[in-house]
Structure 1
Amino acid sequence: MMNMDWTLLSSEYLFRDNWLTARKDRCLTPQGNIVEPYYVLEYSDWVNAVALTEDNQVIMIRQYRQGVGRTLLEIPGGTMDKTDPSPEFAMERELLEETGYAFKELIPMGKVAANTASSNNYTHMFLATGGRKVKEQDLDDNEEIEVVLMSIPEVQQLLMDNKIIHSLHVTGLCYALLHLGKMEMK
């Protein structure tokens, strides 16, 4: 296989914030072409989980998403904090904060990248099982989250009807349903 990796010649940071960093790169392709500017968005890694209660109800959340200007039905998840020692730790923290549920088992489902062309981060996906409500939600100041319990068939139908639109959440749901034997690849 031929080497297709670019060589990074220089980077200039254009904007830095807790939630977003933007940089402008200058790169050299293996064929000798200079690519500039090439913009890259830097984010912390994200986590999400298909969370099942002890009686196999799927814990979904409803919240407003400014990017698309709509309230959406999603799976729990969020940004890894710099103090989180691992994606598993971050996921357990996010589940407890957003839903008030603790889980018996957290099964890694892999990681995916939202936009490999211009973003540097990954989303770590999990299946959380044996969920039991242990406390009330502990939400950030900018979060208003409604917890919605649904059956697996109800969630499957939402996917089939394209009612869950967050691509990283759809991916997590598909991996979890495959793991549970509730979805077939044809």
Structure 2
Amino acid sequence: MNPENDPRPWAVESSEYIHQLPWFTVRKEAIRMDSGGVIPNYFIFEYPTWVNVVAVTTEGQLVLIRQYRHGIAGVHYELCAGVVDPGEDPLVAAQRELLEETGFGGGTWSPLMTLSANPGTHNNLTHAFLALGVEVKQAQHLELTEEISVHIVSPERALGIVNQGEMVQALHLAPLLKYFLDRDSYNLADRL
């Protein structure tokens, strides 16, 4: 839906990279708005596509992880998540990340939602998937830079985690809450 009175896209008058590293790429743009406003220094953070997974076991339990996040110097609950490799399909990346980080796999997968961490400054999207009926397939296969503990929790405990502020990653909270909003429409028995 594009109402006639929607704001128009901005015109980019110039664009230059300020810094380019795999996890910190920033470009500066000079912007001219349709209204005549000018923003001489608008910064965009470039990231690869991200994925995350609301994973539900064959017993109806949720697969969550905990890991330390240095930006906020804390450990919290999260969904399994990761980066889409160049040329990789987001679904394949999500399945790979779940298997590597938790050892869970299989099940029936479907797209859940697509999100932006911050559409004002980030150029990437996060694709969230729902995986119903997952089972342990292997041991965790973590990278040297990953320290992740796996937690299998009941739906009630997962809601408690949310309500008690034990999950703070917004890109993980939104898909988990969407799952709970729509949970009655997911008949696990029909999908296995």
Shorter-chain TM-score range: over 0.9
Of the three residues 75, 88, 93, the one matched with 1:90 is: 93
Of the three residues 33, 39, 43, the one matched with 1:35 is: 39
Which shifted more, 170-179 or 2-11? 2-11
Q: How many residues align?
A: 181
Read off the aligned partner of 2:25 and give its amino acid letter. Answer: T
Identical aligned residues as a percent: 34
Structure 1 residue 158 corresponds to structure 2 residue 156: no
Structure 1 residue 73 corresponds to structure 2 residue 77: yes
Deviation at 1:4, TM superposition (A): 2.6
Distance in structure 2 (CA, Å) of the matches to 1:111 and 1:126 = 9
SS in 1 for 2:184: coil
Distance in structure 2 (CA, Å) of the matches to 1:155 and 1:147 = 13
Distance in structure 2 (CA, Å) of the matches to 1:106 and 1:178 = 18
Read off the aligned partner of 2:126 and give its amino acid letter. Answer: T
Structure 1 residue 50 corresponds to structure 2 residue 51: no
Structure 1 residue 142 corresponds to structure 2 residue 148: no
SS in 2 for 1:165: coil
Read off the aligned partner of 2:76 and give its amino acid letter. Answer: L
Distance in structure 2 (CA, Å) of the matches to 1:135 and 1:107 = 22
Distance in structure 2 (CA, Å) of the matches to 1:163 and 1:70 = 10
Distance in structure 1 (CA, Å) of the matches to 2:49 and 2:24 = 11
Distance in structure 2 (CA, Å) of the matches to 1:36 and 1:72 = 38
Find the counterpart in structure 2 of residue 22 from structure 1: 26
Read off the aligned partner of 1:162 and give its amino acid letter. Answer: G
What is the TM-score normalised by the length of structure 2?
0.90
Write out per-residue CA displacement over residues 33-65 of structure 1, whole angstroms, 9 at most, x where no aligned residue. Answer: 221100010001110111011111100101010
Deviation at 1:106, TM superposition (A): 1.0
Structure 2 unpaired stretches of 5+: 186-192
What is the TM-score normalised by the length of structure 1?
0.93
Structure 1 residue 5 corresponds to structure 2 residue 9: yes
Q: Is the 8 A contact 1:126 1:176 kept in 2?
A: no
Find the counterpart in structure 1 of residue 127 from structure 2: 124
Deviation at 1:179, TM superposition (A): 2.3
Write out per-residue CA displacement over residues 100-139 of structure 1, whole angstroms, 9 at most, x where no aligned residue. Answer: 1112111111201011111111111111111111111111
Structure 1 unpaired stretches of 5+: none
SS in 2 for 1:174: helix
Alignment map for 1:103-118 (pairs within 5 Å): 103-118=106-121
Distance in structure 1 (CA, Å) of the matches to 2:184 and 2:14 = 47
SS in 2 for 1:10: strand
